Amino acid sequence: RARLERSTEAGAPRVQGPEYTWQEALRTRSFWVITIGHACSSVVIVTLTVHLGPMLTDRGFSLPTVGWVVATYTGVGAIFTLIGGYIGDRVPIRWALFGFSVIQSAAVVVILFAETAAAVYLFAVVFGIGFGGRTPLTSAIRGVYFGRRAFASITGVSMIPMNIMMLVFPLFAGIMFDLKGNYNIPFGALAVVSFFGAALFLLLKEPQPQALDHV
């Protein structure tokens, strides 16, 4: 069962966090909030990977510009992966997740209305900050809330609904573009989904273990 473990090292007591099995994690509200919030954030990454190039070229931007935009948000994201992890170690992790997820969501709004090169590069910087800072936190929070014993299994199970969303949303975006001739509806929906995922992280509460075992 989920528990707090107490052990000794060099004669000093050391308290560890809860250690859940994946079955136990499934029965907690926190597992589903994390899973859905992570899924709502991740569909942004996959949909942009598929549709950012066609979206920008349809608006008259060149392929080299698209390449520089991708390079910009990738570079900024790499830096903020480190910064996000640093912040997540020093503030409540759900607040850090919320903040970076809101920034990522704001980037979707920017690209939805971007018509100039300046706006497109603004998107790249804001998106890099948001997804870069969020990326290490969405993985780390499972360890914080559920422990290390079944971390891989818990992460794997939570990826199932996330992968379903990542399969469906890029298809939806492509279908809507074919029907409407632009990305306004799918990217507007993407912004709503992303903000919803950010809001979910505010609802997170660390699950309480059922018992305290002394080891």
- Which tens digit of pLDDT belongs to each residue from 95-124? 999 999 999 999 999 999 999 999 999 999
CATH topology of domain 19-203: Growth Hormone; Chain: A; (1.20.1250)
- How far, in Å, CA of 5 to CA of 91, rounded? 24
Output the six-digit token pair for 84: 């996000």
What is the per-residue pLDDT for 117?
96
What is the per-residue pLDDT for 11?
42
Q: Residue 176 to residues 110, 154, 162: CA-CA distances in angstroms?
A: 20, 34, 21
Q: What is the largest CA-CA distance in the chain?
A: 69
- Which tens digit of pLDDT belongs to each residue from 142-188? 999 998 889 999 999 999 988 998 999 999 999 999 999 999 999 99
Q: Helix, strand or coil for residue 215?
A: coil
Sketch the domain layout of the chain as residue ranges.
19-203
Whether the pTM exceeds 0.75: the reply is yes
